[in-house]
């Protein structure tokens, strides 16, 4: 009796498991939020957004990350070329954090590495 009940429950589990359709994540939404800045949002990650921006020269990403971390509510930043993935704390809303992020990304010219920054210091030493 127990064996039949077990076999029946296994068959039922297999039928139910095969009949369900796997969840497919909805497409992400790409929105313009500033001068040449795009924001990508996903349905399942409400605390994480990706920001894309263009620049023609080398940018000092570490300095931008420091300035972005100075914004209250920023929990994590993952930089990449032309992109930042930013996560905020759950106690903050994007409405209060995003304007500060966009302001920093719009001022990308302030973070461009100039030729003078790349020259080695030959002012002394051996």
Cα–Cα distance for residue pair 87/39, rounded to 1 Å: 13
Per-residue pLDDT reduced to its tens digit, 43-72 = 778 899 999 988 877 888 899 999 999 999
Domain ranges of the chain: 29-114
Q: Residue holding tokens 């023609």? A: 56
Q: Which CATH superfamily is domain 29-114 in?
A: Scaffold protein Nfu/NifU, N-terminal domain (3.30.1370.70)
> How many CA atoms does the CB half-sphere of 17 hold within 13 Å?
6
Cα–Cα distance for residue pair 120/27, rounded to 1 Å: 47
Per-residue pLDDT reduced to its tens digit, 28-51 = 889 999 888 999 998 778 899 999
pTM of the model: 0.69
């Amino acid at each position: 009796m127990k064996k039949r009940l077990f076999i029946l429950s296994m068959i039922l589990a297999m039928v139910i498991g095969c009949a369900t359709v796997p969840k497919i994540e909805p497409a992400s939404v790409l929105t313009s939020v500033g001068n040449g800045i795009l924001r990508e949002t996903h349905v399942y990650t409400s605390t994480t957004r990706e920001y894309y921006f263009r620049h023609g020269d080398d940018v000092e990403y570490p300095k931008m990350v420091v300035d972005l971390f100075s914004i209250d509510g920023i929990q994590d930043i993952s930089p990449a070329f032309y992109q930042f993935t930013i996560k905020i704390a759950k106690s903050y809303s994007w409405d209060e954090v995003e304007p500060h992020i966009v302001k920093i990304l719009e001022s990308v010219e302030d973070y461009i590495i100039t030729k003078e920054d790349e020259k080695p210091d030959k002012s002394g030493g051996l």
